[in-house]
Amino acid sequence: MNMRSIIQSDAIVKLEGVVKKFGDFTAVERADFEIGRGEFLAIMGSSGCGKTTTLRMLAGLEDPTEGNIYLDGVRVNGKATWERDTPMVWQSLALFPLLTVQENVEFSLKMRGVAKAERVTRARKWLDRMQILEFADRNIAQLSGGQRQRVALARALVTEPKILLLDEPLSALDAHLKVRMQAVLSNLQKELGITFVYVTHSMSEAFSMADRVVIMSRGKIEQIGTPQEIYHAPRNRFVAEFLGSANIFSGTLADTSDKTWTVETAHGRFTIGSTAAPSRAKGDTVSFIVSAENMAISPVASGVPGIAARVVGEEFVGASAVIFLETDSGTELKVQKSHHELASLDLRPGSKHILHWTPECCHVLPGE
């Protein structure tokens, strides 16, 4: 599905110059973006970045201090939550402990005045769809975390909304349940074609499920793009550092050609690819990144030119490992490779190695 064409021709949500202030504190600053019909959009950032406040404004739980929010072309500033049809799945799930699973799912239909027979039919349909129909008569306390999550989803979807808002819905689950529920959410969204707006602080959740990701910091939108665009081409230093997968270098532009630049850094002079980089002049400051998986590591004896650094730690990441190293000046660098690639190297703490890369593996940070 081409999300760019959807957003241009069929945006179901539009935020136009949206600002949210709480007294003197600005929680969201000038949010301008659209969400396509049928898109899975993730909003991510650290605590206090404004992501949940943005979601609450979409839900009608907060009203913008400035700007406008449009749902399906209709301005909804000031409209109550029940007038928007934008149900939310909360981090806490907010299920009713004194009601059965069936009664929890029926609740929103009951509030809308739907007749009992129809409520039962629709609720049981969604419980079956979420593969928890057998628990219909149980109390919420008798369910596991993953089962409660499915009840919350069924309750939100039983009204068949156009948009579903999700506020860190997987944060309370164990790691293996998170992975399972990510697959459930992703498949469900594709199957239903409903627009999902998903708030999380987890990059693995956002990047594995979303069509596009919004990264926020201190109320500002730092970058919007597909997971691939953001991972391979972060817009600025904040995004690169937030993703945590890149080595960042800064220096002075010493020479240029059509396809490469030469940059003088504290670690030496390096040739980097300048494709799609903003125009710069000799003497300008340039910042560029080399992702951990694109960083090569060789023995000192190999004579390969690069940066000398000592191993300070190692982290296993499934089929690969991240090696943390430190230069004599105290700069931390990281390399991510398969265990097979690292097997021939002496990676004991304190061992010294040379880190190097090819020019085309560099990405110039345009916001620097």
**Percent of the chain surpassing pLDDT 70:** 96
pLDDT tens by residue, 15-64: 999 999 999 999 999 999 999 999 999 999 999 999 999 999 999 999 99
Residue 127 and residue 183 in one domain: yes
SS3 for 192-255, per residue?
A: HCCEEEEEECCHHHHHHHCCEEEEEECCEEEEEECHHHHHHCCCCHHHHHHHCCEEEEEEEEEE
Q: How confident is the model at residue 322 (pLDDT cuts 50, 70, 90)?
A: very high
pTM of the model as a whole: 0.87
- Give me the domain span that covers residue 256: 238-364
CA distance 116 to 298: 70
pLDDT tens by residue, 114-161: 999 999 999 999 999 989 999 999 999 999 988 998 999 999 999 989
Give which of 44, 364, 49 is closest to 234, Cα–Cα: 364
pLDDT tens by residue, 59-86: 999 999 999 999 999 999 999 988 898 9
CATH number at residue 300: 2.40.50.100
Residue 158 and residue 26 in one domain: yes
CA distance 179 to 188: 14
**Which of the listed residues 237, 272, 289 is the one where a domain comes to its end?**
237
pLDDT of residue 9: 53
The structural domain count of the chain equals: 2
**Which helix or strand (DSSP H or E) is residue 332 part of?**
strand 332-338
What is the overall mean pLDDT for the chain? Answer: 91
pLDDT tens by residue, 220-264: 999 999 999 999 999 999 999 999 889 999 999 999 887 889 999
Are 294 and 312 in contact, with CB atoms under 8 Å apart? no
Alpha carbon dihedral 44, 50, 55, 56, in 10-degree steps, equals 150
Residue 171 and residue 36 in one domain: yes
CATH number at residue 22: 3.40.50.300
